Each structure stands twice: as structure tokens, then as C-alpha cells.
Amino acid sequence: MKFSYKHTLIFLAAVMSAGCSGDVADEACCTFTGDTVASCCEANPETFSIFTDLISDTGNDALSSTYGQYSCFIPDNAAFETYFAAIGKSYSGLNDDEKKEIVYNHVIKSEAADFTSDRF
């Protein structure tokens, strides 16, 4: 059996139209438009300026400015001051690897919006 150009077009049209569906899961139709990690930190410098500096110093500006399936547990400035006192260093005494470790230890990949202790 010989296929012509016309038969090929009809076949492709049939295959392509069979793959289309109007059924889209409800959760796939939502786009979060609230604060990103970066915008939250920048809007509250009196509370989160140290984490904002960490984001910038570690080159994670772009990551923290995007929407995605991750959560960030941001310590406030008071928590950082307590941490610095406990380790005997100031912010300026941290090296690049220590700064990255702090940032990455506060970011988790997750699709969940609510966290309970049994999820950790």
C-alpha cells in the first residue's frame, strides 16, 4: 500500500487531535503570585536583612526570586545573632561555604503548603 502526501496529512491530523484533551487537573491551573523568598525578605529588612545578605552573597538571588515547589524556613535577625554568638563568629567572619550551608539548610523541595512535625 502506497501512502501519499494527502494520506500522511490526514493521519497526522487524526493523531494530533486524538491527543488533545480539555481535562486539566485543578492544581495545575493555579499560579502563585504572592511573595517570593526574596521579596518577603526585602519587604521586611528589620527582620530578615541577614538572610537577604546571605541570599545575595551566595549568588542565590535568582533562585529566591522565583516561584517553585520549595519552601524556605527563614530565621529572623535575632535568631542569627543568637547563632553567631553560639559559634563565636560574626556575619563577616563566615566564609562562602558556611554561608551557602546556612542558606541551603533552610530550603527544602516540597509540594506541600502545610507542614506538621510528622513531615520532618
Query: What is the residue extent of each domain of the chain?
Result: 32-112
pLDDT above 80: residue 58? yes
List the grid coordinates of 67: 516561584
Structure confidence at residue 39 (pLDDT): 84
**Between 43 and 6, whose confidence is greater?**
43
pTM for this prediction? 0.62
- Collapse the DSSP code of 107 into the 3-class scheme (helix H, G, I; strand E, B; otherwise coil) and give the result: strand
Give me the torsion for CA of 49, 50, 53, 55, rounded to 10°: -100
pLDDT tens, residue by residue, 71-114: 788 899 999 999 999 999 999 999 999 999 999 898 877 665 55
pLDDT tens, residue by residue, 11-54: 655 555 555 555 655 554 444 567 787 888 888 889 999 999 99
